[in-house]
Structure 1
């Protein structure tokens, strides 16, 4: 399903934007595209991206916009379809005169849309695509998210330093979701081997698999101490419940794919003791707590009552808007249609070497492949709530 909407501020109930001063109220807007996921298989982790972008835009516009010009967000729901992400990039660049694009959301979408953005000369900054290597061959493709393999490696390091038994592992994954498949068949095995953790052949299931008992039985026969999951939150919930039903008492672990604090209720008591890694911790400081309050309030107004604590991709979407403001001011963009091609390139160049501070971290930098270096937070589900188990500082950039 595809949806297209044009908004000055947030939709779905965001409070009216405060009155703007004469300068911002009388000048041309700076258009930014938002490639979002509000339907399809990735709806659960992706639907609140829009909320976070709208909050940031409202705040920035109330404070004077970018170089005195308000931001206007053009939105496109891909329905979790990578082909639609490519269509969105073309629409934003050719029809909307967008300066840059927030998104695409997923690794599968980014793999298709990044080459399109490169040909059109427009920056895309993904808030969730975490497959390693996605940006390496492009100059207009950026990510404010952390590498999936790096984050899972941090989790395994934490198991060791915290004394969690993990000498025998098994891997389960959703085969028809791109990043779950790649993570389970490529990154998990390599990282487990590097730490001398034994494991068998990864066991797969599909999005629409209702009964995962056969797959879990296969895993249980190998007597693992930990089960490494690569799945979306709903898929992880099915596996968790069946693992506990069949008597598994070890730890279920996973990388960022299903690190959604709002999935605790979905997991139920079977999620107790699960360890996952995320690039954002909502209770880290005053700024993250203030953002979380706004997030919960705005989602409640929109009817997203289960979205009370930001997913890392939510926080990253919020920060991308502020990152774009900083780069836009550095590049002195105007949003004028006659200058848009040159300003898109100047905007890309302004991102190089940038140091950015937001709710995701302080002095965030981008590596040579244009991937952000972000912290890692190891989260334990304890008493059916998220609890900080361990943390890792962001790596430095060369």
Structure 2
């Protein structure tokens, strides 16, 4: 009997050593939008996240443990982003959350992150002031106001005719609406560019002839479009069809390399601003090439990585850096303690990746460089660049 008892004790010990406490992963939540209006711009970010995850795990994970994504699909619905934040934090016990994708989703989900005390970093949310007053909401993205201001200063400095402008925006999309009704008018005024009242179009509109005709009446030097790529393409093609010859400009909202093909010949001369340039360094170029190839395998045609894809990639590596310094273990018994250590580690952090070197944070927002992009000779080309602002 003594032999049997000892054997049983040894068997139990062996089981425990191989059990959950020693086999657990580092769980990171990932709120995604692969359906709905955001699908076109948000689905590729999943590719970028998977590339980063694979690279991190191939290099040993975080503190010797593999990293696991626990995903939640929002369907582009801000209410579902809130549901996702609660599920990931309460039911799945993730240490931090990558996503949601957009400003509209983040504005809602950030409230859950604050209440549940878990770090949340969106992929692409760029509405000014989104993280104001937040402890757990952080962004490795540059806000629209700063980037569009850089674009306007650049085109004036380089002699692009820019005395007058008209604004057109998508009314239902949160960032587009905010940019078109508030941000663009403010920055055009600050740069001495006269403009008319912003003109609204609906996301599902197919006929934009009336809005284009209204714009052409004033013969503006610039047309500033606040819209996602598909909607921007419809506006641009209608403007050119009606004979508009001036420059078309936009902020980060539609600055995806895919717009070169999407806009077609009508997009020639369009100027926009982005937070990522593939030629920034060797690692940035390598990511861009790997991203294009991996996206193609999944049936997603990409001419290059969008800045939201690069931000997704770098955000996961930033989380890795902070988690390693905080010494996280993924032990469920230490969940609250380790979540707090991660957020504490964000304060004063500096990070180098494919977006920039020695990136710092002003408040909870990263200071990133800006790249002014022009569609020239049918190519995605760098027109100008602005260095990242310094952090206080």
| TM-score (ref. length: structure 1) | 0.92
Q: Please tell me whether residue 254 in structure 1 is matched to residue 253 in structure 2.
A: no
Q: Which has the higher helix share?
A: 2
**Aligned-residue offset at 1:284:** 2.2
Deviation string, structure 1 residues 205-259 (Cα, Å, up to 9, x no partner): 0000000000010111011000000001000000000110111111000000000
Match of 1:381 in 2: 375
Q: Distance in 2 between matches of 1:283 and 1:365?
A: 21
Q: Please tell me whether residue 176 in structure 1 is matched to residue 167 in structure 2.
A: no
Instruction: Check conservation: 2:226, 2:253, Cα contact below 8 A.
Output: yes
User: Bigger shift: 25-34 or 202-211?
Assistant: 25-34
Match of 1:104 in 2: 100
**Runs of 4+ displaced beyond 4 Å:** none
**Aligned-residue offset at 1:28:** 1.8
Unpaired segments ≥5 residues, structure 1 = 1-21
Q: Distance in 2 between matches of 1:64 and 1:285?
A: 24
1:337 to 326, 332, 346: 332
Q: State which structure, 1 or 2, has the greater radius of gyration over its C-alpha atoms.
A: 2
Q: Distance in 2 between matches of 1:350 and 1:58?
A: 24
Q: Distance in 1 between matches of 2:182 and 2:175?
A: 10
Q: Distance in 2 between matches of 1:188 and 1:296?
A: 32
Deviation string, structure 1 residues 168-206 (Cα, Å, up to 9, x no partner): 000000011111000111111111111111000001100
Deviation string, structure 1 residues 41-79 (Cα, Å, up to 9, x no partner): 011111111111111111111111111111000111211
Q: Please tell me whether residue 48 in structure 1 is matched to residue 44 in structure 2.
A: yes
Q: Distance in 2 between matches of 1:140 and 1:285?
A: 30
User: Bigger shift: 25-34 or 386-395?
Assistant: 25-34
Question: How many pairs align?
Answer: 373
Deviation string, structure 1 residues 250-306 (Cα, Å, up to 9, x no partner): 1000000000101211100000000000000112221111001110111121111x1
Q: Distance in 2 between matches of 1:160 and 1:301?
A: 42
Alignment of 1:1-398 (within 5 A): 27-304=23-300, 306-368=301-363, 370-398=364-392
Q: Distance in 2 between matches of 1:41 and 1:124?
A: 22
Q: Distance in 1 between matches of 2:342 and 2:117?
A: 11
Does the residue aligned with 1:74 lie in a helix, a strand or coil? strand
Across the aligned residues of Structure 1 and Structure 2, the Cα RMSD in angstroms comes to: 1.2
Match of 1:9 in 2: none
**Aligned-residue offset at 1:137:** 1.6
| TM-score (ref. length: structure 2) | 0.94
Instruction: Check conservation: 1:274, 1:381, Cα contact below 8 A.
Output: yes
Q: Distance in 2 between matches of 1:84 and 1:383?
A: 42
